[in-house]
Amino acid sequence: MYRDLGYYWLRLAIYIALSLCTGSIFYDVGFSFGSIQARGTMLMFVAAFLTFMAIGGFPSFIEDMKQIFRRERLNGHYEVGAFVVGNTLSSIPYLFLISLIPGVIAYFLVGLQKSIEHFTYFALLLFVTMLLVESLMMMVASFVPDFLMGVITGAGIQGVMVLNGGFFRLPNDLPNLFWKYPMYYISFHKYANQGFYKNEFEGLTFPNPQQGANSSISGEEILRSVWQVDTGYSKWIDIAILFGMVVFYRLMFLGIVKLGEKVKPMLKKRVGSSKKTSPVVEI
């Protein structure tokens, strides 16, 4: 993975370029009433599109599956669990790197809350979300035949999750059937967006010219009324839910691969026996 130019270094360069673009567009948003929308949009971009770029590692992962895992698995040298654990541990340092460096650039150029605690949470949430996307793509890789179909399938899944993650359509405005229940609660963007919003808006105060010249609005009120964030639990619960999704997707990948190893020989055996017993018609 370290020697893979596309998987490691090209992705890191693209992340740095995107963070510079984000930081320059939203540079020093300040604390005016208009900065509320700017902060929310910037955080949504980080939660949706920066994590979406984690899909770029999918072709390299497919090559590992074909050239290393399946060959070693057929030779009896590589267990499925060992591959899942090895892939997870080897990707963690890199994912942390591309969360930290671009995160620093975007965070401080925009002028979000300047405290170690808030930035640490920002970088940690970005890291967990990227790890979740890679876990989702591992699960997709277990049932698609090639990387092109995998990229298309993974992009489609993420597109649906972004669409109903609570930004493009506020939670209370989502149709209850299917989009609100269950898709809104299945979408990991819901918890990523709300974690970023709670981390940024809690404790801040903004002027509110809509209520008068000297009136103000608190960050907590913005979370409830503007972004319709569920404030009944802390931002750390959001990150814990995302981490649970990471474990769930990795276990699903493990289960699908193991199930495929049992089902495929049975199907081949049945197909082979049907060919042997089929009658031969002589003309």
The rounded distance, in Å, linking the Cα atoms of 170 and 158 is 18
Does the pLDDT value for residue 10 go beyond 90?
no
pLDDT number for residue 170 = 94
- Going by pLDDT thresholds of 50, 70 and 90, the confidence category of residue 160 is very high
Dihedral in degrees, nearest 10, Cα atoms 57, 147, 46, 106 = 40
Residue 258's pLDDT is 83
Longest dimension (CA), the chain: 97
How far, in Å, CA of 57 to CA of 98, rounded?
12
Residue 107 pLDDT: 96
Q: CA 98 to CA 261: how far, in whole Å?
A: 34
Q: Is the pLDDT reported for residue 283 higher than 60?
A: no
| Tokens representing residue 249 in the block | 């997707």
Q: Which residue has the tokens 């989502």?
A: 174
What pLDDT, on a 0 to 100 scale, did the predictor assign at position 260?
77
Measured between alpha carbons, how far is 133 from 47 in angstroms, rounded to an integer? 11
Cα–Cα dist 15/257, whole Å: 31
pLDDT at 276: 61
Considering 40-49, 59-68, 259-268, the range whose residues carry the highest mean pLDDT is 40-49
Contacts of residue 9, Cβ cutoff 8 Å, sequence gap at least 6 = none
CB atoms within 10 A of CB 112: 21
pLDDT of residue 268: 66
> pLDDT tens for residues 124-154?
999 999 999 988 888 888 878 777 888 888 8
More confident residue, 90 or 233: 233
Helix (H, G, I), strand (E, B) or coil at 182: strand
| % of residues, the chain, pLDDT over 90 | 53
With 0-12 CB in 10 A as exposed, 13-18 as middle and 19+ as buried, what is 23? buried
Cβ contact 205:216 at 8 Å? yes
> Tell me: the pLDDT tens digits for 182-224?
999 999 999 999 999 999 999 999 999 888 778 899 999 999 9
Confidence of residue 101 (pLDDT cuts 50, 70, 90): very high
Query: What average pLDDT does this structure show over 75-81?
Result: 80
3-state secondary structure (DSSP) of residue 137? helix
Least confident of 31-45, 154-168, 244-258, 263-277: 263-277
pLDDT at residue 281 is higher than 70? no
Q: How far is CA 191 from CA 18, 48, 167, 211, 243, in A?
A: 22, 11, 12, 31, 11
**Residue in this structure with the two tokens 């949470």, named with its chain if needed:** 121
Q: Is the pLDDT of residue 50 over 90?
A: no
pLDDT value of position 282: 53
- In degrees and rounded to multiples of 5, residue 108 shows phi and psi of -85, -25
Query: What mean pLDDT comes out for the span 225-233?
Result: 93
Q: What is the pLDDT of residue 273?
A: 63
pLDDT, tens digit, 9 for 90 and up, residues 246-275: 999 999 988 888 887 777 667 666 766 665
Cα angle 216, 222, 227 (rounded to 5 degrees) comes to 155
Whole-number pLDDT of residue 67? 73
Q: Angle 130-258-95 (CA atoms, 0-180°, nearest 5)?
A: 15
HSE toward the beta carbon, residue 252, CA cutoff 13 A: 17
The chain-wide mean pLDDT, for the chain, equals 87
The span from the CA of 82 to the CA of 86, in Å, is: 6
Between the CA of residue 261 and those of 131, 234, 236, 251, what are the distances in Å?
26, 42, 38, 15
